[in-house]
Amino acid sequence: MFCSASWDGSVKVWSPVRGQSLMTLVNPRKDHRHTSHVDLGSSTGGAGGVTGGLVPTPKGGGNNMSLPLSTSKPTVPNPINDCVYQATFSPHDPSTLISVNSSSNCQLWDIRSPQPMQMNFIAHNGLEVLSCDYNKYRPTVIATASVDKSIKIWDLRMIPDLKHQFLPHGDKIGPSPLNKLIGHDFAVRKVTWSPHASDVLLSCSYDMTCKVWKDQMDDNARFANSNRLFHGRALVNGFDKHREFVIGCDWSLWGSGFAASTGWDEMVYVWKAT
């Protein structure tokens, strides 16, 4: 199975052997009737782009949604649903996935549960969250990236159940992350954990750069800091060859330390990240 995220506010779960989606997950804050439904009678998919479906505005019009670059609270043209920018399955549990959206929500889903939404919290103080990823070695640890130019690292076991409806600024207040990585100059478009190390992340941004980070809250990073790194130095490498927005990046599964990035300059670069 795989999942997709859409600007229509939904996450859909798919199987390559079926022409229609298996399940649709929607935000209960926007639709109080249900948080999911099984798609049995549909003859078409009805989903938006594949995971992380941020696309340029068509030249012919039709899509009036602008790129999420601003660090002010966005006004989403669609008043019914929040744009879901990315959804990704857990590499540790085949029924669990996380998603992030334009209302700063990070949501944990269990597609086998009668009530799929297991957790919902404000991740970046009310600002749009563009990307999320599971740590490949620590099952409860995730990372999120936002238009606030930061990357936050969370342990899902430590997220408190905040009652936003009883807070004066409930749509902007969220829990505190384990770690916060700051170094990009514009919105962070993508964040992904290394498949070779539990404490290394890769990010790319609209500032035309990619960066490699060391999560110093991880035990491996703390040990490394005591031997090789200066205390507090989370940023360990950077790459600035792109001449336009960098919108995608990923690690090589086979060559340890190698990464690739792509941007609006129509270039793909492969580089030694660590």
Q: Taking the domains of the chain in order of start, what are their residue ranges?
A: 1-53+73-182, 197-274
pLDDT for position 256? 87
Q: Which residues pair with 119 in a beta bridge?
A: 108
Taking each continuous run of H as one helix and of E as one strand, the counts in the chain are 1, 19
pLDDT digits (tens, 9 = 90+) for 5-39: 999 999 999 999 999 999 999 976 544 445 677 77
Quote the CA–CA distance of 17 and 136 in Å, as a whole number: 27
Q: Contact, 54 vs 247, CB < 8 A?
A: yes
CATH of 1-53+73-182, one of 1.10.8.100, 3.40.190.10, 2.130.10.10, 3.90.600.10: 2.130.10.10
Query: Whole-model pTM?
Result: 0.80
pLDDT band at 42, cuts 50/70/90? very low
Percent of the chain with pLDDT over 90: 65
pLDDT band at 70, cuts 50/70/90? low
